[in-house]
Every structure is written in structure tokens, then in C-alpha cells.
């Protein structure tokens, strides 16, 4: 899948710029410059990625999630070195008293989750199931956002954190492509963030679900770069050219 959108004609870009109060970020390079970009790492937790987690126990194929998890640290490390803001998003669903589980949520769980949320806690706080998967976890200076729904903006301080840091572009990674990643991408787009969903930096449990989201994102919500493309742009030398420390 092409990572870049079709380049607009100079005439169309000029016309679009006349209609907005600030210059449009048209190219991948412009969109993901470290000074205004956040890397969102979504739901890389044992329940969704690990053998013995909820999804594995459900009998679903987690191999793509685990393969993606082996690729993701290179992107995270490169982003940090370039001065990109790293935001680790994790979910907490089950809790004492189940304060976050509505009747709507539980009805869906009864139909589709094989005991998840009802008999089996999901991503409970301070549990192995809710912990970060493998070595994909926040480092000093990274931000952490805890969510209770698919959308990382819903009921969280994510939007405030992003705007406080001058963020214009969200680069989304993690699981599951067609659920929390896509829901957050949509929510970010309607809040006027540029959206980039990393083609090989997120995963779903069915290949067709992953590909459908990428097609949908590219058509309606943003762009679909690869890890290699982003790492090439976020080489450590870019810190001097516009990383968050340099504030170019």
C-alpha cells in the first residue's frame, strides 16, 4: 500500500492554503517533523498480545501482534532520539466495582467475548494482563494515558496533553488496528490532528481487518507510512533540525 497520499496539484494546494489560517502540511516529511508530532503506542498490553492473555485464551491468532511488537521498538527508539513526543496509551476496563463497564459494554461482551469482562477481568489495574507487553513500555519523559474505551480521547486528558505540547500530527501504532487504533485515529482527525497510521507498526487478529482499516484511513482520515519511512525521516540528526529539544 502506498504510504504517501497522491500529491495535490500546486493549484489545489494554493487554493486550500487560502482557506485555512495556517499552512497545510502536505508531505510526509512536513507532517511528521518531530517538533509537532506525537507517537501514540496504543494498548500494547499482555491481554492483547501475550500468550496466556485474553485474546490468546479466546483462541484468536495473536501472531501478527507479536510480530509487530518485535518491529515496534526500533520506531519508538528512533522517535525518542529525534525528539518526537512518545505517548503510551493503555486501557483499564475491569476494576473494583466495575465502575467503567456499562450495560451497553457488557451486552457486547456477552455476545462476543466468551466470558471476557463478565467472568474474566480484562486489563485490570496492576495485573499481569493489563501490564505492558514484553519490552514495549514507557521510558522517562514519555507520557502515559489511561483510557476506558476504544477511543483514547474519550474521558482522558490526551487532547489537553497534545495541545499543551504543540502537537499537530499523531502517528499511531499498536493494537488492534481496526478497533482502538482506528477509533483513536478517527477521533484525532475530527479534532483536527494530522493522522498517520503506521502500516507495519500496528496489527489486527485478521489480516483483512488490518488492511481494511489502512484503506479506510488513507481514503478518509490520513496517511499510512511504514516504519522504515518514519525512521529515515527521524534520524537522530533531525533533532537539530526541529526535534522537541531544538524547537525549530
Q: What is the pLDDT of residues 141-178, one digit of tens each?
A: 999 999 999 999 999 999 999 999 999 999 999 999 99
The rounded distance, in Å, linking the Cα atoms of 86 and 215 is 25
Per-residue model confidence (pLDDT) at position 155: 95
- Among the options 43, 47, 91, 123, which is catalytic? 43
The rounded distance, in Å, linking the Cα atoms of 42 and 232 is 22
pTM of the prediction? 0.88
Q: Where are the beta strands (DSSP E) in 82-205?
A: 85-91, 143-147, 169-175, 194-203
The rounded distance, in Å, linking the Cα atoms of 126 and 136 is 16
- Among the options 49, 91, 123, 180, which is catalytic? 180
- Among the options 47, 91, 147, 202, which is catalytic? 147
43 part of the active site:
yes
- As a whole number, mean pLDDT of residues 65-93 equals 97
Vertex 141: Cα angle to 155 and 226 (nearest 5): 80
- Which CATH code for domain 28-242? 3.40.50.850
φ/ψ of 40, rounded to 5, equals: -95, 125
- As a whole number, mean pLDDT of residues 18-32 equals 88
DSSP count for the chain of H helices, then E strands:
11, 5
Amino acid at each position: 500500500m502506498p504510504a504517501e497520499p497522491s500529491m495535490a496539484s500546486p493549484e489545489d494546494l494554493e487554493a486550500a492554503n487560502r482557506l485555512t489560517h495556517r499552512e497545510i502540511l502536505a508531505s510526509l516529511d512536513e507532517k511528521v517533523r518531530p517538533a509537532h508530532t506525537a507517537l501514540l503506542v496504543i494498548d500494547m498490553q499482555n491481554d492483547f498480545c501475550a500468550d496466556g492473555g485474553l485474546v490468546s485464551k479466546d483462541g484468536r491468532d495473536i501472531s501478527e501482534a507479536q510480530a509487530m511488537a518485535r518491529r515496534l521498538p526500533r520506531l519508538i527508539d528512533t522517535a525518542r532520539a529525534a525528539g518526537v513526543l512518545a505517548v503510551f496509551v493503555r486501557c483499564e476496563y475491569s476494576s473494583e466495582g466495575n465502575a467503567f463497564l456499562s450495560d451497553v459494554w457488557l451486552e457486547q461482551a456477552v455476545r462476543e467475548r466468551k466470558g471476557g469482562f463478565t467472568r474474566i477481568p480484562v486489563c485490570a489495574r496492576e495485573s499481569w494482563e493489563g501490564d505492558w507487553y514484553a519490552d514495549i513500555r514507557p521510558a522517562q519523559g514519555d507520557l502515559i494515558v489511561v483510557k476506558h474505551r476504544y477511543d483514547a480521547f474519550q474521558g482522558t486528558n490526551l487532547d489537553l496533553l497534545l495541545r499543551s505540547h504543540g502537537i499537530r500530527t499523531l502517528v499511531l501504532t499498536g493494537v488492534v488496528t481496526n478497533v482502538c487504533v482506528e477509533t483513536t485515529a478517527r477521533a484525532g482527525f475530527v479534532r483536527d490532528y494530522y493522522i498517520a497510521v503506521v502500516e507495519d507498526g500496528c496489527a489486527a487478529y485478521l489480516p483483512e481487518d488490518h488492511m481494511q482499516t489502512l484503506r479506510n484511513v488513507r481514503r478518509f482520515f490520513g496517511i499510512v507510512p511504514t516504519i522504515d519511512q518514519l525512521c529515515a525521516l527521524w534520524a537522530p540528526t533531525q533533532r537539530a533540525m526541529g526535534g522537541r529539544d531544538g524547537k525549530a
